[in-house]
Chain A
Amino acid sequence: MAKVVVLGAGISGHTAALYLKKLLAKEHAVIMISPNSNYQWVPSNIWVGVGLMDPNEVKFKLAPVYQRKGIVYKQAKGISIHPEGSSVHEKPFVKIAYVTEEMQGKEEDVTYDFLVNATGPALNFKATPGLGPDLYSNSVCAYDHAHHAWHNLEKSLAKMEKGEHQTFLIGTGHALATCQGAAFEYALNIAFEIDKRKLNHLADIIWISNEYELGDFGMGGAYIKRGGYITPTSIFTASILSEYGIRWIKRAGVYKVEEGKAFYELLDGSYHEQSFDFAMLIPGFAGAGLKAYNKSGEDISATVFAANGMMKVDADYTPKPYEEWKASDWPSIYQSPYYDQVYAAGIAFAPPHSMSKPMESPNGTKIFPTPPRTGMPSGVIGKVVAQNIAYRIKTGKKDHPHTGSMARQAAACIVSAGYGFTKGQAATMTVSPIVPDWERYPEYGRDIEATVGVVGLAGHWMKLFMHYMFLYKAKAKFGWSLIPE
């Protein structure tokens, strides 16, 4: 009997656990360790953040799903991994700490044959003093944050109803933040809600971003076919912002937030402040803070994890200049180069480098987006890792017949820009591959035929359709595995 432990029931880990259970015979154990008792469909948090959905509509309890599927669920947090075992345990294990009230403080060593680290990002609010829902800005990165953001947004809207002017600052809250797409989506939704209430004249909405150009989205921008031209996403994005009455500040690294004020440095080295009544700024992301120890108990975290705390996998981490980056630097099987039975899926794996060109201000501040790993690749990676582990367990072989490099995978990003069956709108963008491959596609870095950028009602329907479809899939209901990631 083999024992597979999955850390993190997010998009990637939950997908991996469901596929592992489906692909493996009953005698093998799949164990999920995750601190939050709920699964959340993160992309719909945007709608929670503008009061169009209740948090209960974007989440569900994990325990009943795992019980039905025969997956062992421990509501706990992974603290450290011990891939060589220890003086007590012959087998590799993970040290976990339970988080439920009844089991608070209880720790356990869970042994494994295979480990999938899918712990996602730790929201690093602390990297920007004053940032975050406990301090002076809002977040939509989790359903509770988004709900809190909606309460604050509601207050601003109420003030506008009384004739008061409000400034909204939306974007990235750290010089190296990623997830621009989510913040962009939130800015458009706020603009839509303000317009719906006919309060435009009282609003100043500002997009603040660490991108060198609008539409970079952490993937170095893209080119799309549009209106008879091959158009860069900077033009596409500027057009949408302009249409929604949003002005922008780009090349900005926010370094401090105070009540009603954000401080930022521009790439030219100048320092500025922007006052606001409501701010939603995405924090920097870091690894989940797991540690790693060898058999004799020595801390090997610096070997197993990259400096940002994300786990190293089969990528080429050799530092090299931007001009020498290759698509083949990116991992395809997500296996630890040090420990054969350890994998990292979704945001938990350390990318070899960014996709956007690294930029530095004259003061030495690095201001550029780190690479995004959106839901689609996170789900695909979870599935690929599960398929390979299942193959290894079934055959006893060490090879990996399944691959899913982000330099081969496509991504679709549906940026909701208003809600309603006939009034809704979204910008649908697809890129293939996610990581530009200048050897394969010398002209634009990506397959221009596969790249799309369209705005319309259809995008809104798709976003809504995906909300229901992916929650259905995550609940592992009848036919779930037929729905692609």
Chain B
Amino acid sequence: MATIQERLQNKPYAEYAYATRPMRMTMFWRRCLIKQFYMFWKLNLKIMMMVVKGHN
């Protein structure tokens, strides 16, 4: 796998050169146990509500 730098140097206009990439802070929040614990319940609740509302 090429690093982002290698990719941009080798193929400056390749499609993957335009992809957004997560920054360090984003990566931190993705693994932050407190935030993720909160997200776990939030997403579960959201999905459950969506399933229940989607049929009658």
Contacts and interface: CB of A to CB of B under 8 A. Distances in A.
A and B form one complex: yes
Interface of A: 191, 194, 200-201, 203-205, 235, 238-239, 241-243, 245-248, 376, 380, 383-384, 401-404, 408-410, 412, 422-423, 425, 428, 430, 432-433, 450, 452, 454-459, 461-462, 465, 484-485
Contacts of B15: 238, 248
A204 B7 CA distance: 13
A461 B43 CA distance: 11
Contact of B50 (A194, A203, A425, A430): A430
Given A239-B20, A247-B16, A430-B46, A455 B30 contact: yes
A238 B44 contact: no
A464 to B, nearest CB: 10
A461 B40 contact: yes
Contacts of B37: 458
B24 interface: no
A485 B47 CA distance: 10
9 contacts: A242-B19, A376-B51, A409-B51, A433-B54, A456-B36, A457-B31, A457-B36, A458-B37, A461-B40
Contacts of B33: 422, 457
Most buried by B among A401, A422, A484: A484
Contacts of A194: 1
Given A454-B39, A454-B43, 7 more contacts: A239-B20, A247-B14, A428-B43, A432-B50, A450-B50, A456-B29, A456-B39
Interface string B12-56: 001110111110000001110101110110011011101111111
Nearest to B44: A462
A476 to B, nearest CB: 19
A430 B45 CA distance: 12
